[in-house]
Amino acid sequence: MSHVDVTKATLMKDLRMEWRSKDAINSMLFFSLLVVVIFSFAFNPTAEQSRLIAGGLIWVAFLFAAVVALNQTWARELRNQVLDAYRVSPAPPNALLLAKVLGNFLFVVILEALMAPLFVVFYQLRSVGPVWQLVVIALLGTWALVVNGTFFAALSIRTRSREIMLPLILFPISIPALLAMVDATTSVLTGESTPDFWIKLLLVYDVIFTAVCLLLFESVLNAE
Amino acid sequence: MKSLSIAFIVFTLALLGFSTYQGLFVAPTEQTMGDVQRIFYYHVPSAWVAGVCFFVNFLASIAYLWKRSLNADALAAASAEVGVVFCTIVLITGPIWARPVWGIWWTWDARLTTTLVLWLIYVSYLMLRRFAAGGQTQVLAAALGIFGFVDVPIVYMSIRWFRTQHPSPVMGGGENSGLDPTMLHAFMWNLLAFTCVGIVLVATRYRLQQLENAVEAEHAQLALEGRAR
Amino acid sequence: MSGFVALRAAYAVTWVIALLYVRYLVVRYRAVSKEMKDLKRSA
């Protein structure tokens, strides 16, 4: 089977499984909703203020929700000893990783698309800058979180306190990407500056870390 | 070998004593900040040592993934730990310096924030080493070590840009900005001394790791022979 | 916090952290040596 075939097959399998149980997306959705509501109790901003803080809030909410999804990713594989089957099969490990990343990426992007109107409503959000830029930032930023997150979710499979290890390892590495996402989102919402540099940084981050993940994954998978 | 190590340790301590004396008494007092500026002679060399340690960790991590050598992993563990120690020193001396000069402990200025993120990344590395189970600790840690170091320039760039967008006071003046020659002198001595201290600590920690690996190998051997305690 | 106090504090903190780390290494060293000796004795 070719690289692409394996990736596609794994991805379709994951999507099908998720569609049947809707585990991940339901928990992510509910979690994000909770975060939005609780934050709005804490802040109660005016339209002007909300444009300033929304960038940070939105990404914090998405970050936590993504971690919930990521923890699920490998847990399912582990339960059914699927990883061992992958190691034994001739399927290229990168295809497996790519499929997982794409699956998670799709889940989180769908989540973001569902949450966005909620944020607009709760915070009376109206963007001064062009909305398409927000979409680009969201896509690039989500990829940054998901590619490293999927890789590290694999890393933290066999550690003790697995659930807490994933964010512990993921967050520090992701700080530049998070900074970019938040500041870019804020600059578009307030219209006070252009997010160009941030978008370029996110692109660089995505390219570099996707490459590193793909390069190192085989070593990690075979660690025993 | 052992007497060489002891000689080097003694040399390092003497060097450190000398460089500290240089920094505290021989170097001239800075115009604007006064004597507080002398913290610079400990603060910056610590940052330098931390950076070198993390780079060594990067190389050792790659070496481990390539050769699967336990010694490479031992060096990775040692350099990360010592790096975090020096990074901690930077993060504590920085605010102590800032307080009398700016009246605040922390400003999210570019260099200090980058150091904080670096500290976070390598502390997470140390936690992974502690909490990972069994045989794959080394591989996982090596992967994280590579990720962490690759991230460093990106972290630096992102925080620099953030600070250009949202300016705030810069700690410690510019890097070597118009350093008086005697100041540069004292700085270099401290840089050398701290590097030697770094070498001593990493070497010691490395040896310790090797011993612990040997003990574990002994245990495994005994278990194999059916004589495990 | 005056400049004078800050200077002493910064230098002191550096030494304290370094020495604490050395102490940590020594403690771990002792534990490993002891364990190695016990193992050698039983072997």
* Domain chopping of chain A, boundaries: 3-221
Q: Under a CB-based contact definition with an 8 Å cutoff, are residues B58 and B79 in contact? A: no
- Separation in Å, CA of B197 to nearest CA in chain C: 9
Does a structural domain hold residue B8? Answer: no
Confidence class for position B175, pLDDT limits 50, 70, 90: very low
pLDDT at residue A35 greater than cutoff 90: no
B35-80: per-residue pLDDT in tens?
Answer: 888 999 999 999 999 999 999 999 999 999 988 899 999 999 999 9
- Residue closest to A143 by CA, chosen among A68, A48, A208: A208
Which of A83, A162, A179 to mutate to probe the B interface, most B CBs <10 Å? Answer: A179
Give the pLDDT score at A160.
66
Kindly give, in sequence order, each residue whose CB lies less than 8 Å from that of residue A68, ignoring residues fewer than 6 positions away.
Answer: A24, A27, A28, A31
Query: How many separate domains does chain B show?
Result: 1
Query: Position of tokens 């810069």?
Result: B170
pLDDT digits (tens, 9 = 90+) for A178-221: 999 999 999 998 888 889 999 999 999 999 999 999 999 887 77
Tell me the pLDDT of chain B averaged across its residues.
89
Q: Show the tokens assigned to B2.
A: 């052992």
Q: Which amino acid is at B61?
A: S
Annotated domain spans of chain C: 1-43
Note the pLDDT of residue A122. Answer: 80
pLDDT in tens, B191-220: 999 999 999 999 999 999 999 999 988 888
Sort out which chain A residues have CB atoms less than 8 A from B143's CB and list them.
Answer: 151, 155, 216, 219-220
- ipTM score of the complex? 0.92
Distance in Å, alpha carbon of B165 to nearest chain C alpha carbon: 31
Q: Is B193 domain-assigned?
A: yes
CB burial of residue B162 (10 Å; 0-12, 13-18, 19+): buried
pTM of the model: 0.89
Contact B155 A159 (CB under 8 A): no
Please state, for a pLDDT cut of 70, what percent of chain B lies above it. Answer: 92
- The span from the CA of A176 to the CA of A189, in Å, is 20
Chain C residues in contact with B89 (beta carbon < 8 A): 13-14, 17-18
- Range of B81's domain? 43-172+179-224
Residue B218 lies in a domain: yes
Note the pLDDT of residue A135: 93
d(Cα A44, Cα A49) in Å, to the nearest integer? 9
* Residue A5: per-residue pLDDT: 75
In this model, does residue A31 exceed pLDDT 80? Answer: no
φ and ψ of A130, to 5 deg: -65, 135
Best of B215, B227, B229 to disrupt the C interface by mutation (most C CBs within 10 Å)?
Answer: B215
Chains with ≥3 CB–CB distances under 8 Å to B: A, C
Whether A224 and B124 lie within 8 Å, measured CB to CB? no
Q: Tokens for A126?
A: 């109206």
Mutation choice for B interface testing from A156, A163, A175 by most B CBs within 10 A: A175
Residues of B in contact with C42 (CB under 8 A): 222, 227, 229
Q: Tell me whether B153 touches chain A (CB under 8 Å).
A: no
The reply to whether A148 touches chain B by the CB within 8 Å rule is: yes
C22–chain B Cβ distance below 8 A for any pair: yes
Give B-chain residues touching A201 at CB under 8 angstroms.
154, 157-158, 161
- Give me the half-sphere count of Cα atoms (radius 13 Å) on the Cβ side of residue A190: 17
CB spacing of C2 vs B100 below 8 angstroms? yes
Q: Would you state the pLDDT for residue A82?
A: 62
pLDDT in tens, A103-115: 889 888 888 888 8
Residue B215: its chain C contacts at CB < 8 A? 32, 35-36, 39
Residue B111: pLDDT band with limits 50, 70, 90: confident
CA distance A212 to A152: 12
**What one-letter code names the amino acid at A127?**
S
Whether residue A3 has pLDDT greater than 70 = yes
